[in-house]
Chains A and B, each alone.
Chain A
Amino acid sequence: MNKGNGLKVIVSMIGLDGHTTGGEVVSMILRDAGFEVVYLGVNQTPEMIVDAAIQEDVDAIGISSHASNYPQIERLMQLMKERELDDVPVICGGNIPPQQIERLLASGVARIFTPGSGADEIVDYLAANARKSQAHG
């Protein structure tokens, strides 16, 4: 029940993707697993997400993608490297087709959860792979 153990994660949509239900459900799943979720909502640019990640000092980022905003996710990954946030894994969830999954993984996305993924899969993945900052010992 407390796998998150105070790990802090961002959940966000990106670009003009207005599909919020998935992100909100995942936020609640993570909340119930003991994660502290900073929910950014819609209309987030890659720059806004990276700024939030630095100010909030998060341990992982989850992007909900249901509107083919793959170039924006790739831009996010590029920015993460430029701003030296490589140690913060980015995961994506949504109806992402297989050929795009390949591209996103190649751009540095850590893991992609497609429809049908279980809550436990997401929770366990983040608990095991989120940045273990100095703060967590």
Chain B
Amino acid sequence: MADPHSTDRLVAEVTSGNVRAGARLISRIEHAGEGIVPVLQSLYRVGGRSRIIGVTGPPGAGKSTLIDKLIGHWRKRGLRVAVLAVDPSSPFSGGALLGDRLRMTAHSGDDGVFIRSMASRGRTGGLAAAARDALVVLDAMPWDVVLLETVGVGQNETEVMRHASVVVLVQTPMGGDDVQAAKAGIMEIGDVLVVNKADHPDADRTARMLRDVVARSRRLHPDRVWAPPVLKSQASRNEGVVEVTEQIDRFFAVLGANPEFAKSRQRERARHRVGQILRELLDRHLDSGDGAWLDEMSEPLLSRTADPYSVAEELLSRVVA
């Protein structure tokens, strides 16, 4: 598949919005197929037109249901919407039960909607390793909006912020007290905070508590141009969903009006993306078992004429001139 003709043809198919070509390419990414990097290189260069919106939150909070309603809203505005929905893989069998699409069946048969489920395959950051490159494909097709749904997360899975321009954090009522809400991790990455299942008696208390924490954070960081709004929704009844879309729109308006803010976000994503690929390349090289390279490293260590710290630094200096 590495020959340039098939690469060009595939790039042309994907960028013309061919759903089948895009879907198959995502499978090849998941299976780490040969010859993918040249395709991704071309696709990345023509991408950048999709709004990538992350949706995260604990299991059962209503992420998929909210996404279902968000799709409906954006379809009414004539936007074409793709969803990449990640669910966890079994630590025992490696299998998975991907049950996000199930909540979005209202959009079956609509050519303006593409939904792809993906298993996390052992990745712990809330996404799948293949998600990064799958987003490159979806962004190049291109879809106007790409929703990136994480697995149901706990406190520590923040990888979605590295890939999405805006993160919607969906919470349930009964989430604990204000110290829980002030903890580091997931609570810090939401740009729009949504308390779903707003009919629950504790919804108001949870929303109030989140607003208190946002207000506190605002006083500590008065220079920040964006303070996450706290909304209540009942996604299953399509209540409070328009307000979520309005806040997402407002976030993009703020990004547009504050180049420094936008730039800091972009720099952070670039740092992560390039760093991640660099680490992957480095790992692959180290794992390749190239004899000369390993001898060069291990012999001075064995004779104690060098130490692993200086060997690593020397190698790095070859990479970063």
Stretch at the interface among A54-62, A64-72, A92-100, A111-119: A54-62
Is the pair B28, A134 in contact by a Cβ cutoff of 8 Å? Answer: yes
Do most interface residues of chain A lie in helix, strand or loop, or is the interface mixed? mixed
One of B105, B114, B119 near A55 (C-beta < 8 A): B114
Is the pair B119, A52 in contact by a Cβ cutoff of 8 Å? Answer: no
One of A33, A38, A44, A56 near B23 (C-beta < 8 A): A56
Q: How far is the CA of A14 from the CA of B196 in the complex (A)?
A: 31
Q: How far is the CA of A26 from the CA of B102 in the complex (A)?
A: 16
Write out the residue numbers on chain B whose beta carbons fall within 8 Å of the beta carbon of A45.
Answer: 108-109
A105 interface residue per 8 A CB criterion: no
Q: How far is the CA of A5 from the CA of B89 in the complex (A)?
A: 12
Contacts A40-B102, A41-B102, A54-B20 given; does A32 touch B95 at CB 8 Å: yes
Is the pair B101, A47 in contact by a Cβ cutoff of 8 Å? Answer: no
One of B19, B90, B94, B99 near A54 (C-beta < 8 A): B19
Question: What is the number of contacts between chain A and chain B, taking CB atoms within 8 Å?
Answer: 104
Contacts A6-B31, A37-B97, A38-B117 given; does A43 touch B23 at CB 8 Å: no
One of B26, B92, B97, B109 near A48 (C-beta < 8 A): B109
Q: Contact residue range for chain B?
A: 20 to 34
Q: How far is the CA of A33 from the CA of B31 in the complex (A)?
A: 18
Write out the residue numbers on chain B whose beta carbons fall within 8 Å of the beta carbon of A38.
Answer: 98, 101, 117
Number of interface residues of A (CB under 8 A): 36
A51 interface residue per 8 A CB criterion: yes
Q: How far is the CA of A39 from the CA of B95 in the complex (A)?
A: 13
Can you name the residue of chain A whose Cβ is closest to the Cβ of B29? A135
Write out the residue numbers on chain A whose beta carbons fall within 8 Å of the beta carbon of B108.
Answer: 44-45, 47-48, 51-52
Write out the residue numbers on chain B whose beta carbons fall within 8 Å of the beta carbon of A133.
Answer: 24, 27
Quote the shortest CB–CB distance from A80 to chain B (angstroms): 14
Give 1 or 0 for each of B102-113: 1 = CB within 8 Å of chain A CB.
Answer: 100100110000
Is the pair B98, A32 in contact by a Cβ cutoff of 8 Å? Answer: no
Q: A52-B115, A133-B24 are in contact. List 16 more A-B contacts (CB 8 A).
A: A6-B31, A28-B97, A31-B93, A32-B95, A34-B95, A35-B95, A37-B98, A39-B102, A41-B102, A44-B105, A47-B109, A54-B23, A55-B115, A56-B23, A57-B24, A137-B33
Question: Which 9 A-B pairs rank lowest in CB-CB distance, beginning with the nearest?
Answer: A48-B108, A31-B95, A135-B31, A57-B23, A135-B27, A41-B102, A57-B27, A34-B95, A36-B96
Q: Which residues of B are in contact with A by a Cβ distance under 8 Å?
A: 1, 19-20, 23-24, 26-28, 30-31, 33, 89-90, 92-99, 101-102, 105, 108-109, 114-117, 119, 121
